[in-house]
Amino acid sequence: MALLNILEFPDARLRTIAKPVTEFDEKLQTVIQDMFETMYDAPGIGLAATQVNIHKQLIVMDLSEDKTDPQVFVNPKIEVLSDEDFDYEEGCLSVPGFYEKVSRPGVINITAQDATGASFTVKADGLLAVCIQHEMDHLDGKLFVDYLSNMKRNRIKKKLEKQHRLAAS
């Protein structure tokens, strides 16, 4: 097991488009284990491989109160089921310390593969719908700050850049 380094905005590597997972091998199982360890340690409720500089379509998540419900989504696709948008105050381990309201489709179907490659479909609303869409954005090189005004995003960028400068010196 290993803790992985989480990239932070505005790191350009967070803009990389993830490629589909094709091999459901031992190496994939190790990456999944390391991603869970990193997510629980952070702590966070989800983690996309992009955030740990692995550019594969791979997401781990645990939305349970007691951290007993690990979920893996490989090569996820979503279908929007409702025109109704849902607003949620989002945060991100790659944008530490900042929370802003984001509006996303409220009800979706997720089709993905599990760690063994088996396909499944789940209907999602509420936090699960928010989280999977937030994580799938990471796989497309997108961050929740991209939904904010240029002014808000730039303010966050300057603050994090300053923090990174201080941490490096």
Q: Which of 8, 90, 100, 135 is catalytic?
A: 135
Strand 71-80 vs strand 108-113: parallel, antiparallel, or unpaired?
A: antiparallel
148: tokens are 């904010």
Is 91 or 117 the residue whose CB approaches ligand GNR more closely? 91
**Residue 91 binds ligand GNR, judged by CB under 6 A:** yes
Pull the structure tokens for residue 69.
């419900």
Whether residue 10 is preceded by a cis peptide bond, meaning omega within 30 degrees of 0, is yes
Q: Are 36 and 60 in contact (CB under 8 A)?
A: yes
Of 64-123, binders to Ni ion (CB under 5 A) are 92
Asked whether position 45 contacts ligand GNR by CB under 6 A, the answer is: yes
Residue 155 backbone phi and psi in degrees, to 5: -65, -45
Rounded to 10 degrees, the C-alpha dihedral 128/80/153/47 comes to 40
Decide if residue 153 touches ligand GNR (CB under 6 A): no
Residue 105: how many CB atoms within 10 A of its CB?
19
Among 128, 135, 145, 153, contact with ligand GNR (rule: CB under 6 A): 135
When the beta carbons of 21 and 130 are compared against ligand GNR, the nearer one is: 130
**Sign, CA torsion 13/48/121/145:** negative
Of the residues 56, 104, 138, 153, which one makes contact with ligand GNR according to CB under 6 A? 138
Question: Closer CB to ligand GNR, residue 34 or residue 135?
Answer: 135
Q: If binding is defined by CB under 6 A, does position 44 make contact with ligand GNR?
A: yes
26 is catalytic: no
Catalytic positions: 135
Binding site for ligand GNR (CB under 6 A): 44-48, 51, 88, 90-94, 130-131, 134-135, 138
